[in-house]
Amino acid sequence: MGLLTGKTALVAGVANPRSIAWGIAQAFHEHGARVAFTCLESTQRRVTKLAAEVGSSLVFPCDVSRDDDIARTFEAAGKAFDGKLHILVHSIAYAKIEEIRGEFVAVTRDGWHRALDVSAYSLVAMARAARPLMTAAGGGSILALTFAGGSRVSPGYNVMGVAKAALECAVRYLAYDLGPDGIRVNALSPGPVPTVSAMVVEYFDESIQRLRTCSPLLRPITQADVGNAAVLYASDFSSAITGATVLVDGGMNTLVASAGSHPRAGAGAVEHP
């Protein structure tokens, strides 16, 4: 029996097979959860095909910048899951490419608002919509995906770093508000994973190379790594953990900057996936 047998999960943010959210959905399915998805209308056909791979036909188009879309999505999820939701995954972020690249000081007011609305406020709106369904389930787990650029400068991440900082702070406040309902709220902060969206971030290839040659584990982070962590923090095995930002980065965060830029002795002697 899997760690999530009998649980229901709504995973927001799958766009393609390389999405971190897809790795999480696969892990949830492997551990027995029933999984539903939200996605952009433009990706619905693609996500529907992926959903079928984990035995799901529950795909709800949702523009998270629209409150009415969020309300419809959670109403549909509630009907599909008999009024009970145990797990919500928020893996949603957006900023225009020109707002990410270049200098942060050049960010526009519109770009700022858009990035924080879609990437951070949407977590609050979705948590609010999930609350009655999770309360009916006797509690639940909300997981948000973040990145180290929300707590430290990651050149080329810019306004998205600010959005992730807001997201992480929202996680802590939501954990405080929803704790009495038995709802836990945590963030997972993976190291660089080669998703389609990550390819637009400057210096991304260099970050992957540092993981291969400098990190304690001497390998990059995979979808499966993040999926396994998500299973743990969605399950009852983490029932006393809330308000946390959990690093899934192969230990890269433990190194000072100078160590993170110099290959370890013998690095590369062993092949890593």
Q: Could you identify the residue written with the tokens 């210096």?
A: 203
Our CA angle for 168, 127, 191, nearest 5°, is 35
CA–CA separation, 175 and 125 (whole Å): 14
Question: Judging by beta carbons within 10 Å of its beta carbon (0-12, 13-18, 19+), is residue 258 exposed, middle or buried?
Answer: exposed
User: Which residue among the candidates 49, 164, 176, 203 is catalytic per the annotation?
Assistant: 164
Q: How far is CA 32 from CA 1, 5, 29, 119, 146, in A?
A: 7, 4, 5, 29, 25
- Does 164 participate in catalysis according to the annotation? yes
Q: How far is CA 159 from CA 7, 101, 115, 163, 207, in A?
A: 35, 9, 7, 6, 19
User: Which residue among the candidates 94, 157, 203, 233 is catalytic per the annotation?
Assistant: 157
- Does 79 participate in catalysis according to the annotation? no
Strands 183-190 and 245-248, sheet pairing: parallel
Mind giving me the DSSP string for 40-78? -GGGHHHHHHHHHHTT---EEE--TT-HHHHHHHHHHHH
- Residues with active-site annotation: 157, 164
